[in-house]
Amino acid sequence: MTGLYELVWRVLHALLCLHRTLTYWLRVRFGTWNWIWRRCCRAASAAVLAPLGFTLRKPRAVGRNRRQHRHPRGGPGAAAAHPRLRWRADARSLEKLPVHMGLLITEEEQETSYSDIASLVVWCMAVGISYISVYDHQGIFKRNNSRLMDEILKQQQELLGLDCSKYSTEFANSNDKDEQVLNCQSAVKVLSPEDGKADIVRAAQEFCQLVAQQQKKSTDLDVHMLDSLLSSNGFPDPDVVLKFGPVESTLGFLPWQLRLTEIISLPSHLNIRYEDFFSALRQYAACEQRLGK
């Protein structure tokens, strides 16, 4: 009997993994076709799972599936002819805009696209998000920090035009001397697990050092003091994290700062479209935080 259960489980598991892989692959390769495929899959899944009592999550309000460039350049309407106006208009149409957005990439190194991540960062800047963090749990972006920054600067030029000074970026952990800090509108940080638990431990060690030197008492430490000792002091906590890839976990992303962060999952950052990004922003704008009340 155990053998039978195991067999059924393996079949079920294989089907679920196949579904996930196909959805992912199609979404990445065939944007439009994937929309059709996803609709069919939802219908099929609902038909199979409904008798078992499963309910599917309501499909996220994805933007209309216009056959469009990834970047909203051309298209119908006067506003669309001026992408920057469109982005600002989009931002104004939202009830609320995050001050700090995190981009959490859970996909493997060989599946990472620097240009797609750069697009996401630049879209964040374009709609007026002031703080942007990019994270992966293997420290890939940290090790290739300059490559990512180059890609971001390139996309900034491309999408935001030559008038870059208005959208100047401060690369918050760049070691380069040639940071473009003029009218600092957006700060970009590249993070890894070092900035999570390891940073809390470093802050704890720092405080314990002060205690050892009798400059502080152990009872002096509270939430506020620990918060002020962390490297993120001065940077606001992320309001929202867009999580890309198949892993349903934050994989060590800023655990302390994640206290009230909305975690929005998207299937992949590869060939990500502006519409998908904006629909995630709409989802954020619609959520209500009661803060315990």
Partner 1 sequence: MSWIKEGKLSLWERFCANIIKAGPMPKHIAFIMDGNRRYAKKCQVDRKEGHLHGFNKLAETLHWCLNLGIREVTVYAFSIENFKRSKSEVDGLMDMARQKFSLLLEEKCFLNICFAYTSRYEISSAVREMAWGVEQGLLDPSDVSESLLDKCLYTCHSPNPDILIRTSGEVRLSDFLLWQASHSCLVFQPILWPEYVFWNLCEAILQFQMNHSMLQKARDMYTEERKRQQLERDQAAVTEQLLQEGLQASGDAQLRRTRLHKLSARREERVQGFLQALELKRADWLAHLGTASA
Question: Which residues of this chain interact with partner 1, rule CB under 8 A?
Answer: 1-2, 5-6, 8-10, 12-13, 16-17, 20, 52-55, 57-58, 137-138, 193, 196-198, 200-201, 203-205, 207-209, 211-212, 216-219, 221-223, 225-227, 246-253, 255-256, 258-264, 287, 289, 291-293
- Closer CB to partner 1, 183 or 218, in the complex: 218
- Closer CB to partner 1, 182 or 260, in the complex: 260
- Closer CB to partner 1, 63 or 139, in the complex: 139
- Closer CB to partner 1, 32 or 205, in the complex: 205
- Closer CB to partner 1, 67 or 224, in the complex: 224
**Smallest distance, partner 1 to C-beta of residue 190, A:** 17
- Closer CB to partner 1, 159 or 242, in the complex: 242
β-pairing, 240-244 vs 131-136, is unpaired
**Smallest distance, partner 1 to C-beta of residue 132, A:** 19
**Smallest distance, partner 1 to C-beta of residue 249, A:** 6
**Smallest distance, partner 1 to C-beta of residue 48, A:** 13
3-state secondary structure the chain: CHHHHHHHHHHHHHHHHHHHHHHHHHHHHCHHHHHHHHHHHHHHHHHHHHHHCCCCCCCCCCCCCCCCCCCCCCCCCHHHHCHHHHHHHHHHHCCCCCCEEEEEECCCHHHCCHHHHHHHHHHHHHHCCCEEEEEECCCHHHHCHHHHHHHHHHHHHHHHCCCHHHHCEEECCCCCCCCCCCCCCEEEEEECHHHCHHHHHHHHHHHHHHHHCCCCCHHHCCHHHHHHHCCCCCCCCCCEEEEECCCCCCCCCCCCCCCCCEEEEECCCCCCCHHHHHHHHHHHHHCCCCCCC
**Smallest distance, partner 1 to C-beta of residue 53, A:** 4
**Smallest distance, partner 1 to C-beta of residue 115, A:** 25
